[in-house]
Structure 1
């Protein structure tokens, strides 16, 4: 890393607040309100060895938080990698319009491949002894697969709430989206009636505080068929149901069916939550090639198995880079 790049990565306070005044009275009032009230009461933060309890909380709440998943060195490597990608992405967006709302971005949705798996920092996360046993226990098998290496970040000045949503849904027309697969022709079952088909592991390269955009998570909603409230309908307790404070180096493991959403970042630093997304051994949706044949060969045997459906052919050049409008090739898994 050059001295110029290193200096830029250490200065994160110049990234946000484009078109926003951090000292606006409404922003100041929001900051004070969040500082006093934000966060899930009684949030359990486990240690990596508490595998059975992690599974219990995951199945009860739709998520679980585990501290010390990354070493301090790994945390620093991941933070620098995220900062480099952030700089590449926002260079395309001077006005900070974002692609997940103002000042809010998807790491995958801002990549040509819809993934950051070509980056060594995300590859580092594939085979962690602190995380792999928990995932195997959740899925009841080690034969799960990686969907993508993604995540999101929000900049200072992301003052709006993101609507509550889930990250997967029942089958829709392929003309609508290729990223869904389950459908019961009888109309009896939905994706929410099944065991967890799809897990997201969010890695935290910085502390998550009450002010820097913690994820709000509504416990126990992974099986709910109730309609999600709109922002206008959402009660205040849901807006404050955020996963914080959580120390850097932790992970949040989520059932992606559970209701969740982004919250305001009224701090002075970017907040990154890179992730890995996994399908259960019995569940599949289309995926996009996102790692070169050469990089795949350098992974551990376990990581190679996880990424077996994401490898570009050895004769192909994997085109990577930032974009705010990704349009990668989609590969149905039955064609791999």
Structure 2
């Protein structure tokens, strides 16, 4: 099932608000990406390649495993993404996005900062290969869910998102970022530690050279170098994208590694819903994302993962779609 945003009247994919798909610059970029985009020698591992997955993750800061979802699960996840995408699209007819033009965060589009209340994301909690790989990476089964989120980009997202890292060291004199770390001695950086926070992005559609593959810079999870801005970024980094990758795969990412969005020059929306996990030794206050009633319906394994994200049984979980999560 394709993941797409469609017009309410025509049923046709929408997007392309900034430039026409026939714009000469768009056509030139499209030809360039068709020829050159994608990490050379990208490995798509099998579900039984656990040791190799752990090795590549620790080396590169990410790894891709194929066939973790069957066809029914792919369709269910794609349908769940479509529900959110169309709700968000109704609030943003001009495709301005909340992560740049034509770009959106699933979590940033929810009043709970998460999509954990939706069955499609709950299903992902029990994908076996994820726990098989996360356990040796974290060295324990006692890791927890931070959120159920991800992102999507509409066709016509013609710009690159700047490279960034999702976590930082704590700093004074400003807004402390989420998931920050502070060593009062000034000796240890967040990047010197084992992976504190891992994201599992699931693919409900093929990720191609043209539909907005994630660009991922291998080995940067431990780098203290300044992340280059778009003007400074070399061309090889812009082409360092995790593609092609098939629907049903999962990409596990150390969120410290440099990454960013790329142009979606296709005719369909590209979605990468995720689950985000904290290491057993890493914690911060979490926003409840699932009602107690729904929590009780989960498997024992899923309940263990979300135990810090469940709303108290005496309170109602208020859900809804927004362009700016509170």
Shared fold (TM-score, shorter chain, > 0.5) = yes
1:8: how far off?
7.2
- The alignment of Structure 1 onto Structure 2 pairs a total of residues equal to 321
> Structure 1's 184 and 177: CA in aligned 2 closer, same or farther, altered over 3 A?
closer
1:18: how far off?
2.0
1:105: how far off?
0.3
The normalised TM-score by structure 1 is 0.93
CA distance in 1, matches of 2:207, 2:258: 19
SS in 1 for 2:200: strand
Q: In the alignment, is the contact (CA less than 8 A) between 2:7 and 2:13 conserved in 1?
A: no
- Determine the structure 2 residue equivalent to 1:333: none
- Match status 1:116 vs 2:115: yes
CA distance in 1, matches of 2:17, 2:7: 18
CA distance in 2, matches of 1:260, 1:232: 16
- Determine the structure 2 residue equivalent to 1:16: 15
1:165-180 to structure 2, matched below 5 A, reads 165-172=164-171, 176-177=175-176, 179-180=178-179
SS in 2 for 1:91: helix
- Determine the structure 2 residue equivalent to 1:144: 143
1:13: how far off?
4.4
- Match status 1:223 vs 2:203: no
Q: In the alignment, is the contact (CA less than 8 A) between 1:13 and 1:269 conserved in 2?
A: no
Q: In the alignment, is the contact (CA less than 8 A) between 2:47 and 2:68 conserved in 1?
A: yes
Q: In the alignment, is the contact (CA less than 8 A) between 2:209 and 2:243 conserved in 1?
A: yes
SS in 2 for 1:200: strand
- Determine the structure 1 residue equivalent to 2:163: 164
- Match status 1:202 vs 2:175: no
- Determine the structure 2 residue equivalent to 1:322: 321
> Structure 1's 74 and 8: CA in aligned 2 closer, same or farther, altered over 3 A?
farther
1:175: how far off?
6.2
CA distance in 1, matches of 2:55, 2:11: 38
1:321: how far off?
1.1
Q: In the alignment, is the contact (CA less than 8 A) between 1:103 and 1:156 conserved in 2?
A: yes
> Structure 1's 178 and 264: CA in aligned 2 closer, same or farther, altered over 3 A?
closer
CA distance in 2, matches of 1:200, 1:14: 29
**Two-structure CA RMSD over aligned residues (Å):** 1.6
- Determine the structure 1 residue equivalent to 2:57: 58
Q: In the alignment, is the contact (CA less than 8 A) between 1:217 and 1:261 conserved in 2?
A: yes
SS in 1 for 2:296: helix
1:36-115 to structure 2, matched below 5 A, reads 36-115=35-114
CA distance in 2, matches of 1:261, 1:179: 18
SS in 1 for 2:233: coil
Q: For 1:181-233, what per-residue CA distance to the aligned partner results, in whole angstroms no more than 9, with x for missing partners?
A: 42000000110000010000000000000000000000000000000111000
Deviating beyond 6 angstroms after TM superposition, the runs of 4 or more aligned structure 1 residues are none
CA distance in 2, matches of 1:174, 1:117: 33
CA distance in 2, matches of 1:60, 1:289: 33
1:309: how far off?
0.5
CA distance in 2, matches of 1:135, 1:13: 40
Q: In the alignment, is the contact (CA less than 8 A) between 1:206 and 1:249 conserved in 2?
A: yes
**Which 5+ residue runs of structure 1 have no aligned equivalent?**
1-6, 328-336
- Match status 1:253 vs 2:252: yes
SS in 2 for 1:130: helix
- Determine the structure 1 residue equivalent to 2:3: none
- Determine the structure 2 residue equivalent to 1:240: 239
Q: In the alignment, is the contact (CA less than 8 A) between 2:166 and 2:256 conserved in 1?
A: yes
SS in 2 for 1:298: coil
1:138: how far off?
1.1
1:129: how far off?
1.4
1:14: how far off?
2.4
Q: In the alignment, is the contact (CA less than 8 A) between 2:167 and 2:177 conserved in 1?
A: no
- Determine the structure 1 residue equivalent to 2:32: 33
Q: In the alignment, is the contact (CA less than 8 A) between 2:201 and 2:273 conserved in 1?
A: yes
CA distance in 2, matches of 1:87, 1:321: 13
